[in-house]
Chains A and B, each alone.
Chain A
């Protein structure tokens, strides 16, 4: 069972994602701030992290993404950034942070499912 980590400060959105993914075979973890999210990522080593960009506190989404990707323990972890900002600059920043993909809020839950399928597909099947 693949582990998914949701790092998002809005509880409603966490609920939405959980609900969206409940029929899939994922083990879902949640964190509501950046540092906690990073800690959990490093501990759990999820297959994929859904990371909100706009979070208060010391680490925003980009920084968490960077660290996840840098850390050899989690370098293989997929990171999807959730952002309300769709400006090119923001997307480029995300790319620079090393994210594998991003979703612009509001996103379609079905699109989320498809994206996860794609990203978590076995390498042989790609």
Chain B
């Protein structure tokens, strides 16, 4: 990897368009240095060499010229003498001077007289001196002065000195040539060496520099890399071994910058995050649009709004999601806008259509603003999806329509004002109450109550409103024309979003008809309840769920089951169990389920023996209600039973004497009997016939009394004692000799006390007759029978006749039944009777305002007392 700083920097800034990359500093420096070194050394070398060359040349030239001079000088004489030999010797001597290659003496025409030169054997390389006299002619200098010339570059390189030598007025020349080849070569060699040294040292220096720089600059590389990373990782501090103070400073500065950058970055990030969160929190879509109508920025909400990929949205035209909203449209909209904002930016709101996922159009509300300030965005769009708003507006319209067309009156009162004024009433309210919207608005809704401010429903309403809850009440309200109607009012509170009460909603229904019907039903119900409570028949009603819904008083008395334990608590099956438990187990219990439609008989034992006739009805409306009616037919049953008993008894009683009568008469008709026997049989016949007569009479009496219920009683105020006497006189007890002993209170003067009673004397005689007969009959073993007059302080208005016997008496059970019709203590027939005797007595006496008492003890005797209404004597007290 190229770790040069330049490369690193370049790597970090690859988002910029490619620029000419600067060359690496190291290379630059290196090259520069190298160059510098090279140049300077080259320069120095060149200078040095040239100086050296000059010097050398100078030296050679001076030498040469010196030699030439010397030659000239030396040769003068020779020349004058034209001594070639000596010339040669001179020259040869001079030639031995190092560096001299040839010396030539030339005449003025340039014809060499003699020359001495070294020559090299090409093969051996040895140098030898040669004197030559045949040298070619050369040009001589024109001027009369010594001349030195060098030809460094010539071939061969030489240096030549001309020294004029004046001989005899002729200018002879001495030319000394030094071959510069060697020096030149030497110089060239030196040059090469120097160059080599320069190059080497250059390279060395370069290398050294390179290494040094590398070392020095590596921190920079790291720093540069760090710098590159700085923008990616905030807060990192570089730790670099500074190679130099500058680098250390740089690192420090960079670290500081990194810190600052990090802080700034964090601030920016925070800021960004805040902005972003704000922008992204809003449910509205925010779109920044540039000059040309292209999107510059978006917020999160736009994703769900338009269904686009935010990252790809940037740069697209905004009318891809808001079709038709191009730049011209934007401008035209803004042209109609108002100025808002502190800086006078134009803002316009309008409804538009947004496009989601490229195809679905939905209604939006757009707020379009111009952005002032620099930046890419020129316009800001706030987009809100109003689909729901429109829908809710639509449903509001719908609900309003419902309310308007409801047949119930609707009232809305505002609760935020003290008076709780009505703010809305619907058409139905107007129709119902006769008050129009204008009449009602602003008034408190209790104006419908008219004068009646103290209905129970009003308190309920007030409480409900105070507790801010719903309520439903029935009120008497008055229409505009004064007519009253029953208003079923349902109220409900309406709260705002903080839970504060803002309105109360009231729904009104005219329930007058219903209330009246209900009242009628209630009245009827009360009537029925009263009737049922009066009814002696027991009624039990089961509702559709087969729970007891009603049980009247009579039923509860009959069965001893209190209503509170039954109503709403007892199911049908439980009821049947209760009844069954109370019934006579010896008799079958008629299941309700086996309803034959005919009355059943239920025989209750508890709390007391009753015969109940049960009728079952199911409700006509068929909702499963069951009604049981229990009629206490105990009396009738008893009566029936007694009647049938009576009939059978009567039949038996009638038939028994008939046996004798019929039998004996038949025997007498078919056989002949002696007179005594005939007489006996006739006596029996007669006796038995008499019994039948009695029986028939009693029966008829009873029937008559029952039929007439005492209407044929002749009540008169009469004395009691005579009645007693007459009764006793007419008692017919054929087989009984006993007399009734009478114990009567004595009045003043010793006579029997006169007791006046208001009675029907005839009937009393009959009653007394029965009582006394019983006394006889039921003391067949004898015993005294007594009759006395009795009074009782507790019964001041009564006079009593007490008949006592010492007969067989009665057990308490018998005593309890003593007044029962046809009840006979001894039904065997040994004691004749119909069982009607005391019954008759009771009827007769009670129908006259009196009463009968019976006391008895089995085996001891019986005591019957008749109480009769007493009257004051007609006679004045004496």
- B661 at the A/B interface (Cβ < 8 Å)? yes
- Which residue of chain A has its CB nearest to the CB of B681? A19
If A15-B684, A16-B664, A84-B652 touch, does A55 touch B659 (CB 8 Å cutoff)?
A: no
- A120 at the A/B interface (Cβ < 8 Å)? no
- B648 at the A/B interface (Cβ < 8 Å)? yes
Interface size on A, residues (CB 8 A): 22
User: Are A105 and B826 neighbours in the complex by a CB distance under 8 Å?
Assistant: no
Q: How far is the CA of A102 from the CA of B239 in the complex (A)?
A: 147
Shortest CB distance B640–A (Å): 16
User: Are B660 and A12 neighbours in the complex by a CB distance under 8 Å?
Assistant: yes
If A19-B681, A84-B651, A85-B651 touch, does A10 touch B656 (CB 8 Å cutoff)?
A: yes
- A108 at the A/B interface (Cβ < 8 Å)? yes
- A39 at the A/B interface (Cβ < 8 Å)? no
User: Are B652 and A13 neighbours in the complex by a CB distance under 8 Å?
Assistant: no
Residues of A contacting B: mostly: loop
Checking B659, B667, B826 against A19 with a beta-carbon cut-off of 8 angstroms, the contacting residue is B667
- A100 at the A/B interface (Cβ < 8 Å)? no
Query: Across the interface, which residues of B come within 8 angstroms of A9, CB to CB?
Result: 828-830
A-B contacts, 29 of them at CB < 8 A, read A9-B828, A9-B829, A10-B659, A12-B659, A12-B660, A13-B659, A13-B663, A15-B660, A16-B660, A16-B664, A16-B667, A19-B667, A20-B667, A55-B828, A56-B828, A84-B655, A85-B648, A85-B651, A105-B655, A105-B658, A106-B658, A106-B661, A106-B663, A107-B663, A108-B662, A108-B663, A108-B666, A109-B663, A110-B670
User: Are B648 and A12 neighbours in the complex by a CB distance under 8 Å?
Assistant: no
- Which residue of chain B has its CB nearest to the CB of A56? B828
- Which residue of chain A has its CB nearest to the CB of B826? A56
- B601 at the A/B interface (Cβ < 8 Å)? no
User: Are A12 and B830 neighbours in the complex by a CB distance under 8 Å?
Assistant: no
- Which residue of chain A has its CB nearest to the CB of B662? A106
Query: Across the interface, which residues of A come within 8 angstroms of B74, CB to CB?
Result: none
- Which residue of chain A has its CB nearest to the CB of B680? A15
User: Which residues of A are at the interface with B, using a C-beta cutoff of 8 A?
Assistant: 9-10, 12-13, 15-17, 19-20, 23, 54-57, 84-85, 105-110
- Which residue of chain A has its CB nearest to the CB of B667? A109
User: Are A13 and B648 neighbours in the complex by a CB distance under 8 Å?
Assistant: no
Query: Across the interface, which residues of B come within 8 angstroms of A55, CB to CB?
Result: 828
- B688 at the A/B interface (Cβ < 8 Å)? yes
- B710 at the A/B interface (Cβ < 8 Å)? no
Q: Which of B112-170 contact A (CB under 8 A)?
A: none
Query: Across the interface, which residues of B come within 8 angstroms of A85, CB to CB?
Result: 648, 651-652
Checking B648, B666, B828 against A109 with a beta-carbon cut-off of 8 angstroms, the contacting residue is B666
Query: Across the interface, which residues of A come within 8 angstroms of B688, CB to CB?
Result: 12
- Which residue of chain B has its CB nearest to the CB of A87? B648
- B189 at the A/B interface (Cβ < 8 Å)? no
Interface centre among B658, B659, B829, B830 (most CB of A within 10 A): B659
User: Are B829 and A20 neighbours in the complex by a CB distance under 8 Å?
Assistant: no
Query: Across the interface, which residues of A come within 8 angstroms of B661, CB to CB?
Result: 106
If A16-B667, A106-B658, A107-B663 touch, does A54 touch B652 (CB 8 Å cutoff)?
A: yes
- B827 at the A/B interface (Cβ < 8 Å)? yes
Query: Across the interface, which residues of A come within 8 angstroms of B656, CB to CB?
Result: 10, 13, 84, 105
If A10-B656, A15-B684, A110-B670 touch, does A56 touch B663 (CB 8 Å cutoff)?
A: no
- Which residue of chain B has its CB nearest to the CB of A8? B659
- Which residue of chain A has its CB nearest to the CB of B652? A84
Query: Across the interface, which residues of A come within 8 angstroms of B827, CB to CB?
Result: 56
Interface centre among B666, B671, B688 (most CB of A within 10 A): B666
If A109-B666, A110-B666 touch, does A13 touch B660 (CB 8 Å cutoff)?
A: yes
Query: Across the interface, which residues of A come within 8 angstroms of B687, CB to CB?
Result: 12
Given A10-B829, A20-B663; 11 other pairs, CB 8 A cutoff: A12-B684, A12-B688, A16-B664, A20-B667, A23-B671, A54-B652, A55-B828, A57-B828, A84-B655, A109-B667, A109-B670
Q: How far is the CA of A85 from the CA of B650 in the complex (A)?
A: 11
Checking B648, B663, B826, B829 against A16 with a beta-carbon cut-off of 8 angstroms, the contacting residue is B663
User: Are A56 and B830 neighbours in the complex by a CB distance under 8 Å?
Assistant: yes
Query: Across the interface, which residues of A come within 8 angstroms of B652, CB to CB?
Result: 54, 84-85
User: Are B659 and A16 neighbours in the complex by a CB distance under 8 Å?
Assistant: yes
Q: How far is the CA of A108 from the CA of B664 in the complex (A)?
A: 9
Query: Across the interface, which residues of B come within 8 angstroms of A108, CB to CB?
Result: 662-663, 666
Chain B 71-86: CB-based contact to A (< 8 A → 1; otherwise 0): 0000000000000000
Q: How far is the CA of A107 from the CA of B122 in the complex (A)?
A: 214
Shortest CB distance B835–A (Å): 14
Chain B 622-666: CB-based contact to A (< 8 A → 1; otherwise 0): 000000000000000000000000001001100110111111101
Query: Across the interface, which residues of B come within 8 angstroms of A105, CB to CB?
Result: 655-656, 658-659
Q: How far is the CA of A60 from the CA of B361 in the complex (A)?
A: 111
Q: How far is the CA of A76 from the CA of B828 in the complex (A)?
A: 29
Shortest CB distance B666–A (Å): 5
Q: How far is the CA of A10 from the CA of B691 in the complex (A)?
A: 14
Q: How far is the CA of A84 from the CA of B666 in the complex (A)?
A: 18
Q: How far is the CA of A23 from the CA of B656 in the complex (A)?
A: 24
Q: How far is the CA of A110 from the CA of B666 in the complex (A)?
A: 8
Q: How far is the CA of A106 from the CA of B659 in the complex (A)?
A: 4
Chain B 430-461: CB-based contact to A (< 8 A → 1; otherwise 0): 00000000000000000000000000000000
- Which residue of chain B has its CB nearest to the CB of A55? B828
Query: Across the interface, which residues of B come within 8 angstroms of A12, CB to CB?
Result: 659-660, 684, 687-688
- Which residue of chain A has its CB nearest to the CB of B655? A84
Query: Across the interface, which residues of A come within 8 angstroms of B662, CB to CB?
Result: 106-108
Shortest CB distance A34–B (Å): 11
Query: Across the interface, which residues of A come within 8 angstroms of B664, CB to CB?
Result: 16, 19
Q: How far is the CA of A23 from the CA of B670 in the complex (A)?
A: 12
Shortest CB distance A83–B (Å): 9
Q: How far is the CA of A20 from the CA of B681 in the complex (A)?
A: 12
Chain B 677-710: CB-based contact to A (< 8 A → 1; otherwise 0): 0000100100110000000000000000000000
Shortest CB distance B142–A (Å): 207
